[in-house]
Chains A and B, each alone.
Chain A
Amino acid sequence: MLRCKHVAEALADKRYWELPLHRRIGLHLHVFLCFLCGRYNRQIMALQDAARHYAAYELAEVPPSEYRLSPEARERIRRKLREET
């Protein structure tokens, strides 16, 4: 019997394309029918979604103080940029 673990391994394996077509279809059929694989897939998708949302958030919102440039670094960069101009 195909187990989720083996399916996941096979799908991620680079030799996947060497498998005969019916084996490949079998793998996808398993993912399609298996609620655990479905759950795993949805979780991955939710995290990818999170990563995308996060990018939008971090470019729009002013960071909290612990994630800001220190005054020293800011001054150093300012000086460097003045030299460059």
Chain B
Amino acid sequence: MIYANISAHEQDKVLMAEDTHTIQPDRWLEEHGDILYRYAYVRLRDHGAAEDLVQDTFVAAMKARERYAGRSSERSWLVGILRHKIIDYLRKASREIKLDDMDTGGTENSFIVREMGFAEWRPPKWQFNPRKAFEQKEFWGVFTHCLEALDRRLHTAFVLKEMEGVSTKEICQELEVEPTYLWVILYRARKQLKTCLEKNWLQKISGKRNA
């Protein structure tokens, strides 16, 4: 656009108007909608809830957009809002899950898990190099799938602790469990995740080699 024949002051006004124009919710939806949706869905595993939280995020962002200082990217700002909503949602949802949903075998059954009658007395080795796998895009598809397959309580604990970085103390309060028991839940979550990653990722790699 050419602003040659208007004053600097007016130029600023026009630029500002353009600026507010570009923060249109339609553009947000277009640019960040799917990313926010997946972020929410992976953590909640509920399509309806994920859609609702994405909508709530945009509504909250519209109300607060004067406060958006532009220090972080628009996307991280939006994800920041969504994160709070997700943690809130998981808090409320976890109160509804009773402890009895899962066998509460305690540490005895978790560290020495009996599989096929043999006591497993040591943590099994990785069957692949995880850090190398991170570099491959396909690995994250498998990772998403394995996260989705975790038992509900394990999933909630893993998401809060490892993905959202909520402190152990807070998680224990929210899930109403003892730290020792949270440790058991996390141990199981990691083990399930690891087993699933190994199975599916190795399959994927070997399938590729054969093809």
Contacts and interface: CB of A to CB of B under 8 A. Distances in A.
The answer to whether A and B belong to the same complex is: yes
Interface of A: 4-5, 8-9, 12-14, 36, 39-40, 43-44, 46-51, 53-55, 57-59, 61-64, 67-70, 73-74, 76-78, 80-82, 84-85
Contacts of A43: 123, 126, 190, 194
B33 A69 contact: yes
A9 B180 CA distance: 7
Given A5-B111, A36-B122, A63-B38, A81 B134 contact: no
A37 B74 CA distance: 42
A49 to B, nearest CB: 7
Main secondary structure of the interface of B (DSSP, over half): helix
B62 A81 contact: yes
Contacts of B178: 14
Interface stretch (B1-9, B51-59, B93-101): B51-59
B48 to A, nearest CB: 9
A78 B59 contact: no
Secondary structure type dominating chain A contacts: helix
Contact of B134 (A36, A49, A63, A82): A49
Interface of B: 25-26, 28-29, 33-35, 37-39, 41-42, 47, 51, 54-55, 58-59, 62, 75-76, 79, 107, 111-112, 122-123, 125-126, 130-131, 134, 137, 140-141, 143-144, 162-163, 178-180, 183, 190, 193-194
Nearest to B178: A14
Nearest to A62: B34
6 contacts: A5-B112, A8-B107, A12-B180, A43-B126, A67-B42, A69-B51
